[in-house]
Amino acid sequence: MTGGYRAMFRYPGAVRLALGGLIGRLPVGMLGLAFILVLRDTVGSYAVGGLAAGSYLLAAAVCVPLWSRAADRMGSRPVLVITGVGQPCVLITFSVLAGRDADAAVMVTLAVFTGVLLPPLGAVMRMLWSTALADEPEARRAAFAFESLVMDLAFVIGPIVVAGLAALTGAVGGLLGAAAATATGCLTVASAPRVPAAPSRLRSHGYPIPLRDPAQLSLLLIGFLLMGSVNLTEMSLVASADIAGHHHASGLLIAALASGSLIGGLCYGCRQWRAGPSRRLALLLAVLAVGWAVPAAVGNLWALGALLALAGLALTPAITAQYETLDSIAARGALTESFGWLNAAGAAGMAAGAAVAGLLAGTPAYGFLLAAVSCALACALACRCRGVWQGRTKPVEGVSRL
């Protein structure tokens, strides 16, 4: 542990917050697969399982920014307690009804409520780090990189945990494990001494509205394009392996990309950077645009994996840099909500990327090229907006208020 990470974990209570945030977000990588496995066994349909998983994700994308807004206005602690207890209750109900062969429409409805009550833990954690480490820029950068790594780990570890619990206890075990992780993580963070139980100060003249701030809207579009390029790339990898007749190699190829991303994120948090976050964001997006384009001309799967591992070195740093940029321009009174909207924009981008990649499955080279174009557009937008972002040295509390 060097540099910014060491400074980050020296902060009182940082280990508790980091562990709680990691455990509480494991269900993000667990629930989609858990819904599919449970409904496959109870309803006998992968289609219903896929509908439940998709409905859960859609509801979460809509509601997490709203919970993030509530955290700014009510305080983070009550929001984490409500969602951290409410979602496990829904999951337990889902598990009980699944054992009684409930109607498929009821199960899909419960999956929707699971998404509605998804805790805004990612947005809250970034707000907490930003506030706690405001005077330590290196530690704050490491904390933002750590948050990006947490999401990578959730999507890697979550399905493994679900598969293991399903093998030991049946498919319902994955849902109950997710419920336990949500409650443990959220209540651990909510009970930390420095987590606000109420807004920092009254705002009788109104609250900032991030969606009315053009500077933040440009970052949401960049997040949409960046995360869309990730899904385009991953699904193009799967299609490339299938066309080459080695469909089992797709997991290794995605693992190579993920490994590069994890290594890049760790290194990004350790280093000191002279360039500001907006400049780093533009440069990293340019690197990704090149990194996604080169595989379109490569036919050998092993060379493809090596190239994407190299490109992946810039992925987590780019995701981190966009959150750093948002942190530097967002109004303090709506910081959690701003992070929540950027999370939602990324989720929407991933959904769009998956849909487009499905149409291009027969020609994966086009998928790689489209991912490159997506990052190139994001880079051009970042270059155009840099002046506006850098000019906002102290976020104005009065931007677009209710």
Sorted by where each begins, the domain ranges of the chain are 3-190, 210-391
What is the pLDDT averaged over residues 128-146?
87
Please check whether residue 141 is in contact with residue 275, taking contact to mean a CB–CB distance below 8 angstroms.
no
* More confident of the two residues 245 and 120: 120
| pLDDT at position 154 | 86
Over pLDDT 70: what percentage of the chain?
Answer: 92
> What are φ and ψ of residue 273, in 5° steps?
-125, 135
Indicate whether 3 pLDDT > 80: no
- Render the burial of 340-361: b for 16+ CB within 10 Å, e for the rest: bbbbbbbbbbbbbbeebbeebb
| pLDDT at position 399 | 39
**pLDDT tens-digit map of 339-362:** 999 989 988 888 788 778 777 767
* More confident of the two residues 310 and 200: 310
What is the pLDDT averaged over residues 232-251?
78
- The CATH T-level fold of domain 210-391 is Growth Hormone; Chain: A; (1.20.1250)
Q: What span, in angstroms and rounded, lies between the C-alpha atoms of 337 and 12?
A: 25
| pTM recorded for the entire structure | 0.83
Indicate whether 205 pLDDT > 70: no
* More confident of the two residues 400 and 191: 191
pLDDT band at 331 (very low <50, low <70, confident <90, very high): confident
What is the pLDDT averaged over residues 388-396?
62
- The CATH T-level fold of domain 3-190 is Growth Hormone; Chain: A; (1.20.1250)
| pLDDT at position 400 | 35
- In sign, the C-alpha dihedral spanning 75, 77, 82, 87 is positive
**pLDDT tens-digit map of 274-304:** 778 889 999 999 999 999 999 888 878 888 8
pLDDT band at 63 (very low <50, low <70, confident <90, very high): very high
Q: What span, in angstroms and rounded, lies between the C-alpha atoms of 180 and 28?
A: 13
Asked if 3-190 and 210-391 have one fold, the answer is: yes
DSSP secondary structure string, 23-34? HHHGGGGTHHHH
Give the 3-state secondary structure of residue 401: strand
